[in-house]
Protein backbone atom coordinates (compact mmCIF):
# COMPACT_ATOMS: atom_id res chain seq x y z
CA UNK A 1 0.00 0.00 0.00
CA UNK A 2 1.08 3.56 -0.62
CA UNK A 3 -0.33 7.01 0.04
CA UNK A 4 -1.02 9.22 -2.99
CA UNK A 5 -0.49 12.96 -2.68
CA UNK A 6 -1.51 15.35 -5.47
CA UNK A 7 -0.65 19.00 -4.84
CA UNK A 8 -1.43 22.06 -6.97
CA UNK A 9 -1.79 19.98 -10.15
CA UNK A 10 -2.30 21.91 -13.39
CA UNK A 11 -2.67 20.45 -16.87
CA UNK A 12 -3.72 22.29 -20.02
CA UNK A 13 -4.12 21.32 -23.66
CA UNK A 14 -3.29 24.18 -25.99
CA UNK A 15 -3.61 27.82 -25.02
CA UNK A 16 -7.27 27.82 -23.97
CA UNK A 17 -8.19 24.41 -22.56
CA UNK A 18 -7.36 24.08 -18.85
CA UNK A 19 -8.24 20.44 -18.12
CA UNK A 20 -7.00 20.35 -14.51
CA UNK A 21 -7.06 23.62 -12.61
CA UNK A 22 -4.73 23.65 -9.59
CA UNK A 23 -6.22 20.72 -7.64
CA UNK A 24 -4.90 19.04 -4.49
CA UNK A 25 -6.00 15.87 -2.70
CA UNK A 26 -4.66 12.85 -0.81
CA UNK A 27 -5.54 9.16 -1.03
CA UNK A 28 -4.59 7.40 2.20
CA UNK A 29 -2.96 3.98 2.29
CA UNK A 30 -5.57 1.29 1.60
CA UNK A 31 -8.27 3.84 0.75
CA UNK A 32 -10.63 3.57 -2.23
CA UNK A 33 -11.21 7.08 -3.64
CA UNK A 34 -13.29 7.95 -6.69
CA UNK A 35 -12.91 10.94 -8.99
CA UNK A 36 -16.48 11.64 -10.06
CA UNK A 37 -17.80 14.14 -12.57
CA UNK A 38 -19.24 14.70 -16.05
CA UNK A 39 -17.29 14.26 -19.27
CA UNK A 40 -14.60 16.92 -19.64
CA UNK A 41 -14.31 17.68 -15.91
CA UNK A 42 -10.64 16.64 -15.73
CA UNK A 43 -10.94 13.38 -13.82
CA UNK A 44 -9.31 11.12 -16.46
CA UNK A 45 -6.59 13.70 -17.16
CA UNK A 46 -5.79 13.73 -13.43
CA UNK A 47 -5.56 9.93 -13.41
CA UNK A 48 -3.33 9.92 -16.49
CA UNK A 49 -1.02 12.47 -14.86
CA UNK A 50 -0.67 10.18 -11.84
CA UNK A 51 0.00 7.20 -14.14
CA UNK A 52 2.65 9.15 -16.04
CA UNK A 53 0.69 9.06 -19.31
CA UNK A 54 0.35 12.86 -19.30
CA UNK A 55 2.93 15.44 -18.23
CA UNK A 56 1.42 18.17 -15.98
CA UNK A 57 2.18 21.84 -16.56
CA UNK A 58 2.93 22.18 -12.85
CA UNK A 59 2.29 20.60 -9.48
CA UNK A 60 3.57 17.67 -7.45
CA UNK A 61 2.61 13.99 -7.37
CA UNK A 62 4.03 11.78 -4.62
CA UNK A 63 3.30 8.10 -4.01
CA UNK A 64 4.55 6.38 -0.90
CA UNK A 65 6.69 9.44 -0.19
CA UNK A 66 8.50 9.17 -3.55
CA UNK A 67 8.33 12.09 -5.95
CA UNK A 68 6.78 11.01 -9.25
CA UNK A 69 6.13 14.46 -10.68
CA UNK A 70 7.59 17.81 -9.64
CA UNK A 71 9.41 20.73 -11.18
CA UNK A 72 11.92 19.21 -13.56
CA UNK A 73 10.90 15.66 -12.61
CA UNK A 74 8.43 13.36 -14.41
CA UNK A 75 9.04 9.67 -13.80
CA UNK A 76 8.08 7.55 -16.85
CA UNK A 77 5.07 5.18 -16.47
CA UNK A 78 7.14 1.99 -16.43
CA UNK A 79 9.08 3.19 -13.39
CA UNK A 80 6.06 4.13 -11.28
CA UNK A 81 5.05 0.54 -10.45
CA UNK A 82 1.33 1.32 -10.70
CA UNK A 83 -1.45 -0.96 -11.92
CA UNK A 84 -3.98 0.52 -14.34
CA UNK A 85 -7.27 -0.92 -15.54
CA UNK A 86 -8.63 0.74 -18.67
CA UNK A 87 -12.14 1.21 -20.00
CA UNK A 88 -11.27 -0.68 -23.20
CA UNK A 89 -9.85 -3.75 -21.34
CA UNK A 90 -6.70 -3.45 -23.56
CA UNK A 91 -6.70 -7.20 -24.23
CA UNK A 92 -4.12 -8.51 -26.72
CA UNK A 93 -6.16 -10.60 -29.21
CA UNK A 94 -3.26 -12.86 -30.23
CA UNK A 95 -2.48 -13.87 -26.63
CA UNK A 96 -4.05 -16.32 -24.22
CA UNK A 97 -5.55 -15.21 -20.90
CA UNK A 98 -2.34 -16.18 -19.07
CA UNK A 99 -0.14 -14.39 -21.61
CA UNK A 100 -2.21 -11.21 -21.25
CA UNK A 101 -1.87 -11.31 -17.47
CA UNK A 102 1.86 -12.02 -17.71
CA UNK A 103 2.49 -9.05 -20.01
CA UNK A 104 3.02 -6.56 -17.21
CA UNK A 105 5.17 -9.01 -15.27
CA UNK A 106 7.45 -9.52 -18.26
CA UNK A 107 7.75 -5.76 -18.67
CA UNK A 108 8.96 -5.68 -15.05
CA UNK A 109 11.51 -8.44 -15.75
CA UNK A 110 9.55 -11.20 -13.97
CA UNK A 111 9.64 -14.41 -16.03
CA UNK A 112 9.73 -18.17 -15.80
CA UNK A 113 8.32 -20.04 -12.82
CA UNK A 114 7.81 -16.87 -10.78
CA UNK A 115 5.74 -15.34 -13.57
CA UNK A 116 3.58 -18.47 -13.90
CA UNK A 117 3.01 -18.52 -10.15
CA UNK A 118 1.95 -14.86 -10.01
CA UNK A 119 -0.32 -15.25 -13.05
CA UNK A 120 -2.06 -18.27 -11.51
CA UNK A 121 -2.55 -16.40 -8.22
CA UNK A 122 -3.97 -13.32 -10.00
CA UNK A 123 -6.40 -15.40 -12.05
CA UNK A 124 -7.61 -17.19 -8.93
CA UNK A 125 -8.18 -13.83 -7.23
CA UNK A 126 -10.45 -12.59 -10.01
CA UNK A 127 -12.33 -15.87 -10.40
CA UNK A 128 -10.69 -17.02 -13.63
CA UNK A 129 -8.64 -19.90 -12.27
CA UNK A 130 -8.20 -22.65 -14.87
CA UNK A 131 -8.86 -20.34 -17.84
CA UNK A 132 -5.25 -19.35 -18.45
CA UNK A 133 -4.98 -21.23 -21.77
CA UNK A 134 -8.23 -19.76 -23.14
CA UNK A 135 -8.08 -17.19 -25.96
CA UNK A 136 -8.74 -13.91 -24.13
CA UNK A 137 -11.00 -12.46 -26.84
CA UNK A 138 -13.32 -15.50 -26.60
CA UNK A 139 -14.30 -14.51 -23.06
CA UNK A 140 -17.37 -12.47 -22.14
CA UNK A 141 -17.05 -8.74 -21.47
CA UNK A 142 -17.07 -9.30 -17.71
CA UNK A 143 -14.39 -11.98 -17.97
CA UNK A 144 -12.22 -9.77 -20.19
CA UNK A 145 -12.45 -7.03 -17.59
CA UNK A 146 -11.32 -9.55 -14.97
CA UNK A 147 -8.32 -10.41 -17.17
CA UNK A 148 -7.47 -6.70 -17.28
CA UNK A 149 -7.75 -6.52 -13.49
CA UNK A 150 -5.64 -9.66 -13.01
CA UNK A 151 -2.91 -8.14 -15.19
CA UNK A 152 -2.98 -4.98 -13.07
CA UNK A 153 -2.67 -6.78 -9.71
CA UNK A 154 -0.32 -9.60 -10.78
CA UNK A 155 2.90 -7.75 -9.98
CA UNK A 156 1.60 -6.23 -6.72
CA UNK A 157 1.56 -2.55 -7.75
CA UNK A 158 1.84 0.24 -5.22
CA UNK A 159 -1.49 1.74 -6.28
CA UNK A 160 -4.37 0.58 -8.50
CA UNK A 161 -5.75 3.10 -10.99
CA UNK A 162 -9.13 2.54 -12.69
CA UNK A 163 -10.32 4.54 -15.72
CA UNK A 164 -14.09 3.83 -16.01
CA UNK A 165 -13.43 0.06 -16.18
CA UNK A 166 -17.09 -1.03 -16.06
CA UNK A 167 -18.64 1.36 -18.58
CA UNK A 168 -18.65 -1.19 -21.43
CA UNK A 169 -20.60 -3.80 -19.45
CA UNK A 170 -24.37 -4.25 -19.49
CA UNK A 171 -26.34 -2.88 -16.54
CA UNK A 172 -26.80 -6.15 -14.63
CA UNK A 173 -23.19 -7.24 -14.99
CA UNK A 174 -21.96 -3.76 -14.15
CA UNK A 175 -23.95 -3.77 -10.92
CA UNK A 176 -22.47 -7.13 -9.90
CA UNK A 177 -18.92 -6.29 -10.95
CA UNK A 178 -18.74 -3.02 -9.00
CA UNK A 179 -19.44 -4.89 -5.77
CA UNK A 180 -16.95 -7.64 -6.60
CA UNK A 181 -14.30 -5.13 -7.61
CA UNK A 182 -14.67 -3.08 -4.43
CA UNK A 183 -14.47 -6.22 -2.26
CA UNK A 184 -11.43 -7.50 -4.15
CA UNK A 185 -9.53 -4.24 -3.70
CA UNK A 186 -10.29 -4.34 0.03
CA UNK A 187 -9.19 -7.98 0.20
CA UNK A 188 -5.90 -7.07 -1.47
CA UNK A 189 -5.51 -4.11 0.93
CA UNK A 190 -4.52 -1.87 -1.94
CA UNK A 191 -4.77 1.87 -2.41
CA UNK A 192 -7.12 2.62 -5.30
CA UNK A 193 -8.07 5.68 -7.33
CA UNK A 194 -11.13 5.18 -9.51
CA UNK A 195 -12.56 7.39 -12.26
CA UNK A 196 -16.23 7.34 -13.26
CA UNK A 197 -19.15 9.54 -14.29
CA UNK A 198 -21.59 7.03 -12.75
CA UNK A 199 -22.87 8.36 -9.41
CA UNK A 200 -24.22 5.00 -8.24
CA UNK A 201 -20.87 3.36 -8.94
CA UNK A 202 -19.07 5.98 -6.88
CA UNK A 203 -21.54 5.70 -4.00
CA UNK A 204 -21.30 1.89 -3.80
CA UNK A 205 -17.55 1.50 -4.15
CA UNK A 206 -15.87 4.46 -2.49
CA UNK A 207 -14.51 5.32 0.92
CA UNK A 208 -14.44 8.91 -0.29
CA UNK A 209 -15.66 10.72 -3.40
CA UNK A 210 -13.96 13.70 -5.07
CA UNK A 211 -16.53 15.55 -7.21
CA UNK A 212 -15.02 17.53 -10.10
CA UNK A 213 -16.33 20.13 -12.53
CA UNK A 214 -14.41 22.18 -15.11
CA UNK A 215 -11.05 20.98 -13.85
CA UNK A 216 -11.74 21.96 -10.23
CA UNK A 217 -12.65 19.98 -7.12
CA UNK A 218 -16.16 20.87 -5.93
CA UNK A 219 -16.46 18.60 -2.88
CA UNK A 220 -14.60 15.81 -1.09
CA UNK A 221 -16.41 13.49 1.31
CA UNK A 222 -17.72 10.05 2.10
CA UNK A 223 -20.74 8.87 0.07
CA UNK A 224 -23.28 9.76 2.78
CA UNK A 225 -22.14 13.35 3.28
CA UNK A 226 -21.66 13.95 -0.45
CA UNK A 227 -25.25 12.89 -1.11
CA UNK A 228 -26.94 14.44 1.92
CA UNK A 229 -24.75 17.48 2.53
CA UNK A 230 -23.83 18.92 -0.90
CA UNK A 231 -21.82 22.13 -0.76
CA UNK A 232 -23.30 23.67 -3.91
CA UNK A 233 -26.05 23.20 -6.48
CA UNK A 234 -23.76 21.40 -8.95
CA UNK A 235 -22.99 18.62 -6.46
CA UNK A 236 -26.62 18.43 -5.33
CA UNK A 237 -27.85 18.11 -8.91
CA UNK A 238 -25.09 15.80 -10.19
CA UNK A 239 -25.32 13.28 -7.36
CA UNK A 240 -28.69 11.59 -7.76
CA UNK A 241 -31.96 13.50 -8.24
CA UNK A 242 -32.98 16.58 -6.28
CA UNK A 243 -35.29 19.59 -6.17
CA UNK A 244 -33.60 23.00 -6.27
CA UNK A 245 -35.58 26.17 -5.49
CA UNK A 246 -34.61 29.83 -5.17
CA UNK A 247 -35.36 31.63 -1.92
CA UNK A 248 -34.37 34.33 0.57
CA UNK A 249 -33.17 33.73 4.10
CA UNK A 250 -35.36 34.75 7.04
CA UNK A 251 -35.05 34.25 10.77
CA UNK A 252 -33.34 31.31 12.43
CA UNK A 253 -35.36 29.47 15.03
CA UNK A 254 -35.16 26.36 17.15
CA UNK A 255 -35.94 24.09 14.16
CA UNK A 256 -33.62 25.79 11.68
CA UNK A 257 -33.39 28.62 9.18
CA UNK A 258 -36.58 29.92 7.59
CA UNK A 259 -36.31 30.38 3.81
CA UNK A 260 -38.99 32.18 1.84
CA UNK A 261 -39.56 30.39 -1.50
CA UNK A 262 -41.66 32.63 -3.79
CA UNK A 263 -42.56 29.88 -6.27
CA UNK A 264 -44.00 27.79 -3.47
CA UNK A 265 -45.68 30.77 -1.84
CA UNK A 266 -44.38 29.47 1.49
CA UNK A 267 -41.60 29.62 4.06
CA UNK A 268 -39.56 26.43 4.41
CA UNK A 269 -37.61 25.65 7.58
CA UNK A 270 -34.16 24.21 6.79
CA UNK A 271 -31.82 22.64 9.32
CA UNK A 272 -28.88 21.81 7.04
CA UNK A 273 -26.37 23.86 5.06
CA UNK A 274 -26.00 27.62 5.54
CA UNK A 275 -27.73 29.62 8.26
CA UNK A 276 -28.57 33.29 8.66
CA UNK A 277 -25.46 33.89 10.75
CA UNK A 278 -23.38 33.16 7.64
CA UNK A 279 -25.55 34.87 5.04
CA UNK A 280 -27.64 37.47 6.83
CA UNK A 281 -31.40 37.87 6.51
CA UNK A 282 -32.75 38.58 3.06
CA UNK A 283 -29.85 36.88 1.29
CA UNK A 284 -30.48 35.02 -1.97
CA UNK A 285 -29.98 31.28 -1.49
CA UNK A 286 -30.91 27.94 -3.01
CA UNK A 287 -32.86 25.26 -1.20
CA UNK A 288 -32.41 21.61 -2.15
CA UNK A 289 -34.28 18.50 -0.98
CA UNK A 290 -34.18 14.92 -2.32
CA UNK A 291 -37.46 13.46 -3.68
CA UNK A 292 -37.32 10.43 -1.38
CA UNK A 293 -37.27 12.61 1.74
CA UNK A 294 -40.59 14.31 0.94
CA UNK A 295 -43.52 12.63 2.67
CA UNK A 296 -47.08 12.47 1.36
CA UNK A 297 -50.08 12.50 3.73
CA UNK A 298 -53.81 12.10 3.31
CA UNK A 299 -54.63 15.19 5.34
CA UNK A 300 -53.02 18.20 7.00
CA UNK A 301 -51.84 17.09 10.44
CA UNK A 302 -49.66 20.10 11.20
CA UNK A 303 -46.18 18.73 10.36
CA UNK A 304 -43.34 21.14 9.64
CA UNK A 305 -43.02 22.42 6.06
CA UNK A 306 -46.55 21.32 5.16
CA UNK A 307 -47.51 21.96 1.53
CA UNK A 308 -50.54 21.15 -0.57
CA UNK A 309 -50.21 20.33 -4.25
CA UNK A 310 -51.66 18.43 -7.18
CA UNK A 311 -50.03 15.42 -8.87
CA UNK A 312 -49.22 16.43 -12.47
CA UNK A 313 -47.12 13.40 -13.47
CA UNK A 314 -46.80 9.89 -12.03
CA UNK A 315 -44.54 7.12 -13.32
CA UNK A 316 -44.78 3.66 -11.76
CA UNK A 317 -41.32 2.09 -11.30
CA UNK A 318 -42.35 -1.02 -9.39
CA UNK A 319 -40.70 -0.33 -6.07
CA UNK A 320 -41.78 3.33 -6.16
CA UNK A 321 -43.72 6.08 -7.91
CA UNK A 322 -41.77 8.96 -9.48
CA UNK A 323 -44.16 11.92 -9.22
CA UNK A 324 -44.24 15.61 -10.05
CA UNK A 325 -46.45 17.60 -7.68
CA UNK A 326 -47.44 21.14 -8.62
CA UNK A 327 -47.19 23.44 -5.61
CA UNK A 328 -47.83 27.09 -6.37
CA UNK A 329 -45.68 27.81 -9.42
CA UNK A 330 -43.16 25.03 -8.74
CA UNK A 331 -43.02 21.38 -9.80
CA UNK A 332 -41.70 19.26 -6.93
CA UNK A 333 -40.35 15.79 -7.65
CA UNK A 334 -41.47 13.23 -5.05
CA UNK A 335 -40.66 9.53 -4.75
CA UNK A 336 -43.46 7.52 -3.15
CA UNK A 337 -43.59 3.85 -2.16
CA UNK A 338 -44.82 1.56 -4.92
CA UNK A 339 -47.80 0.31 -2.93
CA UNK A 340 -49.27 3.82 -2.59
CA UNK A 341 -52.36 4.80 -4.61
CA UNK A 342 -51.33 7.68 -6.84
CA UNK A 343 -53.43 9.29 -9.57
CA UNK A 344 -52.74 12.23 -11.87
CA UNK A 345 -54.81 15.22 -10.77
CA UNK A 346 -54.94 13.98 -7.18
CA UNK A 347 -54.58 16.64 -4.45
CA UNK A 348 -51.95 15.65 -1.88
CA UNK A 349 -50.48 17.07 1.32
CA UNK A 350 -46.70 16.96 1.60
CA UNK A 351 -44.27 17.55 4.44
CA UNK A 352 -40.55 18.10 4.17
CA UNK A 353 -38.43 17.32 7.27
CA UNK A 354 -36.28 20.39 8.09
CA UNK A 355 -33.26 18.10 8.61
CA UNK A 356 -33.50 17.10 4.93
CA UNK A 357 -33.69 20.69 3.60
CA UNK A 358 -30.24 21.96 2.65
CA UNK A 359 -29.54 25.67 2.09
CA UNK A 360 -26.84 26.52 -0.48
CA UNK A 361 -25.25 29.79 -1.49
CA UNK A 362 -24.89 28.77 -5.17
Q: What is the pLDDT of residues 172-204, one digit of tens each?
A: 888 888 888 888 888 888 999 999 999 999 999
Q: Per-residue pLDDT for 213 more than 60?
A: yes
Q: Are strands 191-196 and 159-163 parallel, antiparallel or unpaired?
A: parallel
Lowest mean pLDDT among 115-129, 270-284, 348-362: 270-284
Q: H-helix or E-strand containing 184?
A: helix 171-188
Lowest mean pLDDT among 94-103, 104-113, 206-215, 303-312: 104-113
Per-residue confidence (pLDDT) for residue 336, from 0 to 100? 94
Q: Per-residue pLDDT for 10 more than 90?
A: yes
Q: Are residues 231 and 309 in the same domain?
A: no
Q: Per residue in 47-75, pLDDT tens? A: 999 999 999 999 999 999 999 999 989 99
Lowest mean pLDDT among 14-18, 28-32, 33-37, 222-226: 14-18
Mean pLDDT of 212-230: 96
The CATH number of the domain holding residue 90 is: 3.40.50.300
Q: Are residues 322 and 218 in the same domain?
A: no
Of 208, 235, 262, the last residue of a domain is 235
Lowest mean pLDDT among 185-189, 227-231, 277-281: 277-281
Of 210, 235, 260, the last residue of a domain is 235
What percentage of the chain exceeds 70 in pLDDT? 97
Q: Are residues 18 and 152 in the same domain?
A: yes
Q: Are residues 117 and 224 in the same domain?
A: yes
Query: Does residue 285 sit in helix, strand or coil?
Result: strand
Asked if 230 contacts 197 with a C-beta cutoff of 8 angstroms, the reply is no
Asked if 9 contacts 197 with a C-beta cutoff of 8 angstroms, the reply is no
Q: Are residues 195 and 247 in the same domain?
A: no
Per-residue confidence (pLDDT) for residue 242, from 0 to 100? 96
* 109: confidence class by pLDDT, cuts 50, 70, 90: confident
Q: Per-residue pLDDT for 354 more than 60?
A: yes
The CATH number of the domain holding residue 307 is: 2.40.50.140
Q: Are residues 84 and 226 in the same domain?
A: yes
Per-residue confidence (pLDDT) for residue 321, from 0 to 100? 95
Q: Are residues 122 and 231 in the same domain?
A: yes
Per-residue confidence (pLDDT) for residue 277, from 0 to 100? 60
Mean pLDDT of 16-36: 94
Q: Per-residue pLDDT for 299 more than 70?
A: no
Q: Per-residue pLDDT for 359 more than 90?
A: yes
Distances, alpha carbon 188 to alpha carbons 17, 121, 159, in Å? 38, 12, 11
Q: Are residues 214 and 275 in the same domain?
A: no
Total domains in the chain come to 2
Looking at residue 286, what DSSP letter applies?
A: E
Nearest partner of 357 among 254, 237, 230, 238, judged by Cα: 230
Per-residue confidence (pLDDT) for residue 301, from 0 to 100? 54
Mean pLDDT of 78-86: 90
Q: Are residues 284 and 325 in the same domain?
A: yes
Q: Are residues 172 and 290 in the same domain?
A: no
Q: Per-residue pLDDT for 279 more than 80?
A: no
Q: Are residues 35 and 170 in the same domain?
A: yes
Distances, alpha carbon 303 to alpha carbons 178, 266, 351, 353, in Å? 40, 14, 6, 8
Per-residue confidence (pLDDT) for residue 58, from 0 to 100? 95
Distances, alpha carbon 109 to alpha carbons 95, 99, 313, in Å? 19, 14, 63
Q: Are residues 181 and 126 in the same domain?
A: yes
Lowest mean pLDDT among 129-133, 197-201, 263-267: 129-133
Of 178, 206, 235, the last residue of a domain is 235
Taking the C-alpha atoms of residue 33 and residue 202, their distance in angstroms, rounded to an integer, is: 9
Per-residue confidence (pLDDT) for residue 303, from 0 to 100? 65
Domain that holds residue 159: 4-235
* 224: confidence class by pLDDT, cuts 50, 70, 90: very high
3-state helix, strand, coil in the chain (%, to 5): 30, 35, 35
Task: For the beta carbon of residue 361, count every other beta carbon within 10 angstroms.
Answer: 14
pTM of the model: 0.90
* 276: confidence class by pLDDT, cuts 50, 70, 90: low
Amino acid sequence: MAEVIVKDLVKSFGNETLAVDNISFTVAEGEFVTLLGPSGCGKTTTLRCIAGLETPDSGNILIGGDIFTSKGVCLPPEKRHLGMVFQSYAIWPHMSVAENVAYGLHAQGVKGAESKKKVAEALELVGLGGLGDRNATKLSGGQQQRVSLARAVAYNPRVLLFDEPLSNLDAKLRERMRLELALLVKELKMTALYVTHDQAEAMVMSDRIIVMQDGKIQQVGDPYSTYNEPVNSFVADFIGVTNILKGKTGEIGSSGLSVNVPKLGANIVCAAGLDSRETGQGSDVLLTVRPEYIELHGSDDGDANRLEGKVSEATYLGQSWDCLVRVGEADIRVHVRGDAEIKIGQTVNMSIPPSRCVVLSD
